[in-house]
Amino acid sequence: MSTSRDLVDLLTMTRELDGSDLHLSIGAPPVARVNGSLVPLGTEPLEAKQCREQLMSVLTESERTRLEKNWELDFALQLRGVGRFRGNAHFSRGNLEAAFRYVPSSVPDLQSLGHGPNVQDFCRARQGLVLVTGMAGAGKSTTLAAMTAQILGERSSVVTTIEDPIEFTFEHADSLIKQRQIGTDTHDFAKALKAAVRQDVDVIVVSEMRDQESVAAALTAAETGHLVISTLHSRGTVGSLERMVDIFPAAQQPQIITQLSGALVGIVHQKLLPRADVTGRVMASEVMVMTPALSAVIREHRFEQIHGLMQVSAVHGMHTMDDSVKH
């Protein structure tokens, strides 16, 4: 990376390949992720000095300060004629490296992503907690944006998003929207969630719950008349619940389980799988819709029974990952 245009060129090449991600690692060539596979962009390995200069050149002074303080940084990068990217700068063996994720310029609707009426109905809930879960690269942020867009178009509400960083940008529609970015508009997720309940907000969209404080604040907001929609890294629907509970000390877990049994509206768990025709990837999902039976199972901490209930609850709009893959 020897010229001021190198980073732009690499991101442009990534998009020309229809790639989703770009990785900059010292001692290796730049690598794009295309349809889930890694594709080198050339053969020349990156050098530490040039990589650092390139990354620092696209960060604001505030972002550079946060990076030096925290040793990692989430940020957004808009390149004219190329697109918008979510970036993560971090250190590896003392060297500054980065990963970039492409953010589509327009927000797709839920149906085009492969979600059915059950997920659309989650957006119409007046209060409670909706989780969009999956592993990294599963398309959670895109689903979250599509749900936000539906709410803005269908409801007359005040919507607040809490993001790190802001990915998709929205305009006011039938609803008003406030987009708050960690490090720019608020200090952290928990503080922003606690503030939102005092701002006459109807819907709170959280890009990710990462710790005890943000999970506790989200549950409290969901219990007090707000619709809270958030992503969570997990391996499955049951794993999502287990992760939310296990993040707390044992003494607090019974309270969290009780709150979940009363506040949860539903869970969308998703993953991206290679298409049969090898021309990209397609989303597969499982959906859990809260019912009295599921609420009781969760309240009694019988999580091992959840999957079985989902298998026999198609009438409530539920389906498992196996059902999705078969169809």
pLDDT one-digit tens code per residue, 60-100? 999 999 999 999 999 999 999 999 999 999 999 999 999 99
Tell me the Cα Rg of the chain: 20
> Cα–Cα distance between 75 and 99 in angstroms, integer?
11
- Helix locations, the chain, DSSP H: 6-16, 48-57, 61-70, 110-113, 117-122, 140-154, 189-196, 212-223, 237-246, 253-263, 292-299, 306-311, 321-326
CB 82 within 8 A of CB 11: yes
Instruction: Please check the confidence at residue 262 and state whether its pLDDT lies above 80.
Output: yes
Mean predicted confidence (pLDDT) in 263-283: 88
Mean predicted confidence (pLDDT) in 257-285: 90
Beta-carbon-side half-sphere exposure of residue 26 (alpha carbons within 13 Å)? 18
Q: Token digits for 277? A: 């025709």
* Confidence at 217, pLDDT banded by 50, 70, 90: very high
CB 17 within 8 A of CB 91: no
pLDDT one-digit tens code per residue, 9-66? 999 999 999 999 999 999 999 999 998 899 999 999 999 998 999 999 999 999 999 9
Q: Domains (ranges, CATH) in the chain?
A: 6-103 (3.30.450.90), 110-326 (3.40.50.300)
Mean predicted confidence (pLDDT) in 127-146: 96
pLDDT one-digit tens code per residue, 153-200? 999 999 999 999 999 999 998 899 999 999 899 999 999 999 999 999
Q: Are strands 128-134 and 264-274 parallel, antiparallel or unpaired?
A: parallel
> pTM of the full predicted structure?
0.86
Looking at residue 316, its amino acid is H
Long-range own/partner contacts, residues 25-34 (CB < 8 A, 24 or more apart): 25/92, 25/97, 26/51, 26/92, 26/93, 26/95, 26/97, 33/137
Q: Token digits for 51? A: 């990589």
DSSP string, 109-124: PHHHHT--HHHHHHTT
